[in-house]
Chain A
Amino acid sequence: MTTLQAASAKSLGSLEVGSIGQTVGQSTVPDPVFSCQDVNVRYGSKHALRNVTLDVGRRQVLAMIGPSGCGKSTFLRCLNRMNDTIAGAAVTGRILLDGQDIHGPGQDVVRLRARVGMVFQKPNPFPKSIYDNVAYGPRLHGLTRSRSDLDELVCTSLQRAGLWNEVKDRLKHAGTGLSGGQQQRLCIARTIAVQPEVILMDEPCSALDPVATARIEDLIDELKELYAIVIVTHSMHQAARVSQRTAYFHLGALVEVGETDRIFTNPRHRLTEAYITGRFG
């Protein structure tokens, strides 16, 4: 925490900070794709996420905002069990995907990750051709029967990611040779190609310039017609532009959640108000 953050946290009074725990707002939605109850994450002795109860709705964008280290990325990584790859990470609580506990016996993490795709902060295409980048997931899960099926899936995935027109003549070229914004759309195409139900995005625009960011935001708007999207962002403007629901995290707790319009016009918790008015974070 910077001194500025510490100072503003202090000015809010220790009572409010101490009173985090009861989430303000509607944390459940009808017919959720993800339903999370009392999720806690510990990295060794660090308690990174505290009693988070939160639903993710279908065909809408849920934005997660909050100061650095507030647990929003940690929560995101619970949803596709990427925390499993970190030594010493322990996740407790129930996370239901379409009513099924993703930590339940017989649940295959590979199947889970096929249903829950992820786009990372830094564009991370594989050192392969554009075609092979997109075909990687379908090949992994044996999604197509023939070469022409695969060609078609690669094509539609690139179209949905809004990259097809720029790369259709050079599918055999290296994915790493694209610009940053194109690489991120390639990563989105790669995620879509596995035909997931949910797409998790961990600050997908923080390494991109404003023009590339605008393209990705437009894309997110289109993609929500087909997928549930959970996006972590440091930009409140971005959260306001792309999401229908917004969740505000602070010190590992879910402080407030609700309709995006409501959160940004009429926040109920003082910490939420302080954050979105730029008093800290």
Chain B
Amino acid sequence: MSRALIRRLTNQLALTLSAGATLVGLLFLGWILWTLLANGVAGLSVHLFTQSTPPPGADGGLLNAIFGSAAMTLIGIAVGAPVGILAGTWLAEYGRETRLATLIRFVNDVLLSAPSIIVGLFIYQVVVVPMKHFSGLAGCLALAVIAIPVTVRTTEDMLSLVPQGMKDASLALGAYPWRTITGVIYPAARSGMVTGLLLAIARVSGETAPLLFTALNNQFWSRDLNAPIANLPVVIYQFAQSPYKEWQQLAWSGALLITLTILALSIIARVVVSALMPGRRQ
């Protein structure tokens, strides 16, 4: 065989293998979405958004769980994201390659890949046990702890992408570093930081394990964050295991709802990136 032929065949083989691998990945994604749609759509109705979780054998919705999830996610992000953004800023602009920054980066990566159930157990130990009851507040804190390493990472990555020349230009005009960060670097990294935030929300809103030990669940409508509060992931977890048809249907619908929300957030993140990309605005 000639060398040209061998090269062409190798190329074909590599292409086929990588295309095949892509297809396998897409197949499972499509399968998951299809299963969710097929099982979840039947339960989609106005009741889902207007009624709370029902007792066994009755009709109901997911209002309390939707509210609980939204509230805890928003508060968790509101607490975790500022910490993460400031820490990421410090790593990218002040700490850089110092030994302390390297250590913090390593610890953050460990936290990033820690199983979320451990975060749940941690908050259970330091918040739920002293307070002697489960609460939405503990759930918020658990979600915040999960959001922090994600935002630290994305913030640092996005700030590092800002060209050094732009930072130098601001410094050479006589700006203090903090003014350079808020006046030049944040605006330049804006789209990336917004994306990071949306992805952190997506990540946090699907967490089940940390909420099992903290917010637990609540059968009824409740806005009290000092008490156990319903939330989609735990409702799905409990209802899916129940023997009741109505509960199982609600679990499917809840799962579809979370998936669609995360999908929407990811799409918004992409749109935001292309809309805010510096240089694209003419």
* Chain A residues with CB below 8 A from B168, complex form: 82, 85, 118, 120, 124
Q: Which residue of B lies closest to A129 (CB)?
A: B281
Q: Is A99 an interface residue (CB 8 A)?
A: no
B residues with CB within 8 A of A = 96-97, 163, 165-166, 168-176, 179, 183-184, 187-188, 278-279, 281-282
**Interchain CB contact (< 8 A) of B172 among A87, A113, A122, A128:** A113
A residues with CB within 8 A of B = 80, 82, 85, 87, 109-114, 117-118, 120, 122, 124, 126-128, 136-137, 140-141, 173-174, 176-177, 187, 190-191, 194
CB-based contact B166/A124 at 8 Å:
yes
Q: Which 5 A-B pairs have the closest CB atoms?
A: A127-B278, A113-B174, A124-B165, A118-B172, A176-B279
* Chain A residues with CB below 8 A from B187, complex form: 126-128
Known pairs A82-B171, A174-B279 / 5 extra A-B pairs, C-beta < 8 Å: A127-B188, A128-B187, A141-B174, A176-B278, A190-B169
Alpha-carbon distance A12/B33, docked complex (angstroms):
74
Can you offer 9 A-B residue contacts whose CB atoms are under 8 A? A126-B170, A126-B184, A140-B174, A173-B281, A174-B278, A174-B279, A176-B278, A176-B279, A187-B169
With both chains docked as a complex, state the minimum distance between the C-beta of B96 and any C-beta of chain A, in angstroms: 8
Alpha-carbon distance A179/B188, docked complex (angstroms):
19
Chain B CB within 10 Å, residue with most, of A112, A120, A191: A120
Q: Which residue of A lies closest to B174 (CB)?
A: A113
**Interchain CB contact (< 8 A) of A173 among B96, B172, B179, B282:** B282
Alpha-carbon distance A114/B171, docked complex (angstroms):
10
Q: Contacts A85-B168, A122-B165, A126-B169: A111 and B174 contacting too (C-beta < 8 A)?
A: yes
* Chain A residues with CB below 8 A from B175, complex form: 110, 140
CB-based contact B170/A136 at 8 Å:
yes
Alpha-carbon distance A122/B171, docked complex (angstroms):
15
CB-based contact A190/B173 at 8 Å:
yes
* Chain A residues with CB below 8 A from B174, complex form: 109-114, 137, 140-141, 194
With both chains docked as a complex, state the minimum distance between the C-beta of A131 and any C-beta of chain B, in angstroms: 14
Alpha-carbon distance A122/B166, docked complex (angstroms):
10
Alpha-carbon distance A203/B188, docked complex (angstroms):
25
Alpha-carbon distance A80/B169, docked complex (angstroms):
12
CB-based contact B163/A124 at 8 Å:
yes
CB-based contact B173/A113 at 8 Å:
yes
* Chain A residues with CB below 8 A from B179, complex form: 140
**Interchain CB contact (< 8 A) of B183 among A110, A122, A136, A141:** A136
* Chain B residues with CB below 8 A from A110, complex form: 174-176
* Chain B residues with CB below 8 A from A112, complex form: 174
Alpha-carbon distance A120/B176, docked complex (angstroms):
19
**Interchain CB contact (< 8 A) of A80 among B166, B172, B176, B281:** B172
* Chain B residues with CB below 8 A from A85, complex form: 168, 171
Q: Which residue of A lies closest to B276 (CB)?
A: A127
Alpha-carbon distance A140/B279, docked complex (angstroms):
23
**Interchain CB contact (< 8 A) of A177 among B96, B170, B282:** B282
* Chain A residues with CB below 8 A from B279, complex form: 127, 174, 176-177
Alpha-carbon distance A118/B167, docked complex (angstroms):
13
Q: Which residue of A lies closest to B166 (CB)?
A: A124
Chain A CB within 10 Å, residue with most, of B169, B176, B184, B278: B169
CB-based contact B278/A136 at 8 Å:
no
Q: Contacts A82-B172, A113-B171: A126 and B281 contacting too (C-beta < 8 A)?
A: no
**Interchain CB contact (< 8 A) of A194 among B96, B163, B173, B184:** B173
* Chain B residues with CB below 8 A from A187, complex form: 169
* Chain A residues with CB below 8 A from B282, complex form: 173-174, 177
Alpha-carbon distance A140/B177, docked complex (angstroms):
12
Chain B CB within 10 Å, residue with most, of A82, A112, A137: A137
Chain B CB within 10 Å, residue with most, of A85, A190, A194: A85
Alpha-carbon distance A113/B278, docked complex (angstroms):
27
CB-based contact B188/A126 at 8 Å:
yes
